[in-house]
Each structure stands twice: as structure tokens, then as C-alpha cells.
Amino acid sequence: MQQLLQERIENASLRPGDQLPTENELAQELAVNRLTVWQAIAELSLAGQLEVRRAVGTFVAPPPTQFVVTLGAQRSKAAVEETTQALRGDGRIAQETLISSAIAEDAQVREHLGLPRHRLRRVDTLFGVDGQPWAVNTYWFADSRFRGITAHLADDGSVFRVCSDVCGVDLRDAWRSFAAAAARPRDAELLDIPVGTPVLERDGLNVDADGRPTTFVTRRLRSDRVRFVLNYDLDD
């Protein structure tokens, strides 16, 4: 029934922005319970096909308009922070605010960083653009190397900027990885999206000027906001 309802809604040839009948109307027309209608709509909403505005109505969602971040394919320097730069060039205001900073432990991060004897610090931040939440970031690094960084981050939450300007450590990218994931309850709250909504997870390892692994970063970006592009050089 739920599936049938979804197909009906899909095939109703509605255009983006169109409003659906209310849940009560749909329930009556199709002779099903309103909860059933609600569940069908909730699924399509999670799938990004419908936009539910509480106390207003349910609408066909417009296709997402994502901001495109171009990845440096060849550069190794200065690729760090390219998102912020690109946004600035687009006339937007990017801001990173500190959420938490604490000593923590994670086996996988340790493996990436390769610092068996160091205490690790985990710093969480929220990245926003024009006042809207875009990403939750988690930074990992040896506490000893950036001692006292938390105080600075309270003023300026941009971790890489503090690493560079305050601590004098120049970072460059070693690698980055991309995957899709579901928003966990904590992500969901910070990003203002329902639990389970897709997020784009971008992990990365940064090394210092001597090539030693220094920071490991996980960003979880709202999938409706960002897309990454990798351009290939065609003149080989």
C-alpha cells in the first residue's frame, strides 16, 4: 500500500514546487489510514523527492542546486582550505565554529596518523555558510604538537588557519577520500536535517612541510549543498 502510494505520488506528473493534497485528503481518497500516508511521504521526503513544510503542506522538491568544489588534481600545497577559498570567491561568508575539543582515542585514526606514542586531541567544529550549516568537521592531531590550541579556536574556529597562523605549521594534503554516509543523530542535529539523511563524508590526511602525517580530518557535508569535481588534464 505504502509502495503503491509512493508510485502514485511519483507518477502524478507533478512539477517541482507543486503542493500535494493534505495527508487527510490523500488518506480519504485512497481509503488508507493517515499514518500510512505519512510513512509513504516520510520515505519520499528522506529520498529527497518531497519537501515537507510543517503546518504548511507537502511539496514536490526541486532538484538540488549544489555548490561545486573543484578538487586540485595535481597540487599538493595549498589545497587545504580550498572549499573556503572557493566560497569566498563566490561572495559567500564561510564560518567555522568550535563545538568541542578533548583528548580522545580512535584506532583507525591512529593508524592513519601513525603516531603510536602521542596523546591525540579531537576537535569538532561546525562549518557554516551564510549562516546555514554545511558540514561537521572532526580534526585529529597529536596534542603535544598543538598544545593550547583550544583557546585560540574559541576566537577563530578555523582549525587550519590556527594551525598555520598561530602554531606555524604549514599543512598540505596527502590524500582525501570520499564516501556517502547517513547522518547520525549528532550530525543531524548540528546540520539541521533528519537522522539518516545522506551526507558526503570526506576524510583526509594532512602532512607538514617535511611530509610527516600531522592532522586527520573528517568532514560530513550536507549532500544538498556540496558536490566535488575532479578535473583531468587533457594535454598529456
Binding site for DNA (CB under 7 A): 1-2, 20, 22-25, 31-36, 38-39, 41-42, 52-58
Strand intervals (E) in 112-171: 120-129, 132-142
Task: Answer positive or negative: Cα dihedral of 41, 42, 46, 52.
Answer: positive
C-alpha 66/C-alpha 146 separation (Å) is 34
If one asks whether residue 77 binds a second copy (CB under 8 A), the answer comes out as yes
| Residue with smaller CB distance to a second copy, 30 or 174 | 174
CA 110, chain centre distance (Å): 23
Q: Which does 56 bind (CB under 5 to 8 A by kind): DNA, a second copy, none?
A: DNA
Q: Which does 7 bind (CB under 5 to 8 A by kind): DNA, a second copy, none?
A: a second copy
Q: Interface with a second copy by CB under 8 A: which range of 43-51, 95-103, 133-141, 152-160?
A: 43-51
C-alpha 19/C-alpha 29 separation (Å) is 16
Q: Which does 198 bind (CB under 5 to 8 A by kind): a second copy, DNA, none?
A: a second copy
C-alpha 122/C-alpha 143 separation (Å) is 9
Strand partners, 70: 229
Contact 199, 38 (CB under 8 A): no
Max distance between CA atoms of the chain, in angstroms, equals 69
C-alpha 139/C-alpha 99 separation (Å) is 11
C-alpha 191/C-alpha 220 separation (Å) is 9
Contact 101, 121 (CB under 8 A): yes
Q: Which of residues 87-106 bind a second copy (CB under 8 A)?
A: none
Pick from 111, 177, 192, 212 the residue near a second copy by CB under 8 A. Answer: 177
| Residue with smaller CB distance to a second copy, 144 or 177 | 177
Q: How far is the CB of 86 from a second copy (least distance, A)?
A: 14
Pick from 76, 100, 132, 144 the residue near a second copy by CB under 8 A. Answer: 76
Q: Which does 227 bind (CB under 5 to 8 A by kind): DNA, a second copy, none?
A: a second copy
Pick from 49, 95, 97, 164 the residue near a second copy by CB under 8 A. Answer: 49
| Residue with smaller CB distance to a second copy, 54 or 117 | 54
Q: How far is the CB of 7 from a second copy (least distance, A)?
A: 8
Contact 6, 40 (CB under 8 A): yes
Q: Interface with a second copy by CB under 8 A: which range of 20-28, 120-128, 148-156, 174-182?
A: 174-182
Spatial CA neighbour of 221 closest among 140, 134, 126, 92: 134
Q: Which does 117 bind (CB under 5 to 8 A by kind): DNA, a second copy, none?
A: none
